[in-house]
Structure 1
Amino acid sequence: MKSNLIIKFFTKDFQRKLIAMFFALLIWFIVNQRISEVQTFSGIPIELINPNSNIIISKTNRPTANIILRGPAKILQSLKSKDISVRLVIPEGVRSGSLKLLLTRDDITIPGITQIENIVSETIIVEVDEMQEKEVPVRLLFNNALSDKYRLINTPHIEPKTKLINGPSKRLESINYLTTKPFLIDSSRNKAFVSSVSLSIPSGVRTEFDKVKVIVDIETASKLLPMRRQALSMMSQGVHSSTPLPFVDAVISGPPTILEKIQANEMKFFIEYGEEDKLKVHFWCPYDSVHLQSVMPEYISNPWKK
């Protein structure tokens, strides 16, 4: 019964129904063409999803997409690029460098009454870098403002002498050492001390601890050391004398650490050949910071004169 009704529906006045269907499709096509247009949206920001903890995305790299949408003219005219959402996922296991990503329709979210006609730029280039570690030496920047009464025994040293820094591999390539912030050894210091100083950390890198220990050794600038019965020698340039020379008593001055290690045979007390009746006693030492303060006698009779 039902099948007969269906057959009769299509066969009765078939020609008129066919014509009506034709005009209906024609009207739909014309209306659809008038209300459905295409429009290009450029510079759509791409949100990059990065699941890699050791990979960073270059801050200067801001990829965008260009998309052609189809939809009603009024809707397209009211749309802005910010109304379209584009998200791309950085695959796992990538290395530093230029990364090519393929943009698909699944990565794009658009208003429901529009559809994607075309993706103008399907290949997206993203610059990524890998986080790495690097051990570099640390250099101490210091200003010695000690008073004249004191001196540094040696150059202040720091602990630790190296630091482990973490950052993008390309950034680490340009960093060969770290420096401290300026460290002042002021005039109130009169003995050895231990302190700390902060590091100057370059932008884009980090380190676990940003301070190092500074060890400063200080001593009095000068100390007096008496020298009893020092032998006196001659500087005669081939002219000899058999006259015995007396011993001399002297007082020398210098940094305490040097005076403690200096040996008597390293210093020389001597006279030089001359025609004068009295010759001056001279002093020589391999350390420039050691000086003769006094010597007795200061002059002796010329041994080359009979």
Structure 2
Amino acid sequence: MVKISFFTSFFKNIAFPVGAFLLAMLLWLFVVSGDQYTMMLDLPIEARNLNSQKTYLEEVPGYASVILKGKGRDLFKSYVLQNYSDIKLVLDLDGISQEYEFILNDYFEKNPRKVVIPPSHNVSFIEVVYPNRINIRLDEVMEKKVPIISNIQSLVKDGYLQIGNTQFEPDSLIIIGPKVELNKINEVHTAKDTLFNLSKSNRGTIDLISQNRLIKFSLKKINYFLDVQQISERIIVDIPVKVINKVRGIRVFPSPQTVSLTVVGGVNKIAEIKPNDISVIVDFNSWKLEKNFYTPKIAVPFDILNWKDLSPRTIELGVARESK
């Protein structure tokens, strides 16, 4: 324990300050010196004159590592200001229709003006270290309208339910990118999110997820709406009974001609329901001479939770031939 404490104290109180002082001295000598040095810097790459009908099939690297030469203070200045000055490498894409490979050192040797270094920097370009080449691949630019798919999970409180699916405004968006990549995309998904203990309708904004950086979205976020309502019941009366698959020349009389039942669902949703929104159907194909009463099939709107208490439960069918 004593040895460990001694070495820790020595490094903290002596070795570290001495090392920092020596490093500072070397940096000071480098900056004030008038001698010539070389330094490697990462310079941004700017691709220009892309055909308006084309887009990239592969991303162009954002930076290249290059060697610059100059006096110590000028190189230090370039290093400090590299993110704030207009120093960059330019690739001219004029005339490229599909694919072209830039051998960077050969390209900049033939086109020295494509290495943009402001005169105030007083440094000169020597060579590109990495990457030594950039392959440009282009494709026809297209746009496409696709629907938005929800990754939002809603968990409502007991006694409540969500009416319908999550709604988006707008419900679709425009995506733009290379044709070959757009053909693979038929929908766009939201980010994943879970909403807990919902007892009322909920509005919000959520990110859209892009799996391909070459594809651009007309929207980065989307507005959503979840219709959450308290569960309630309502009796619907005077629902008409319909007979399907009637036979020509035969008259069919359902009795009674209307029924009632109880619907279970969101309190606001069931308040909107009208008798004609519910289908009570008897199929005449199931008619038999010795059978008088038939159980109808019930169809309610999809966003109704359930139905019960059909009255009456069966329908009598009266059958007679039409008079000629």
- Provide the TM-score with structure 2 as the length reference: 0.43
- Provide the TM-score with structure 1 as the length reference: 0.45
Higher strand content, 1 or 2: 2
Which has the greater radius of gyration? 1
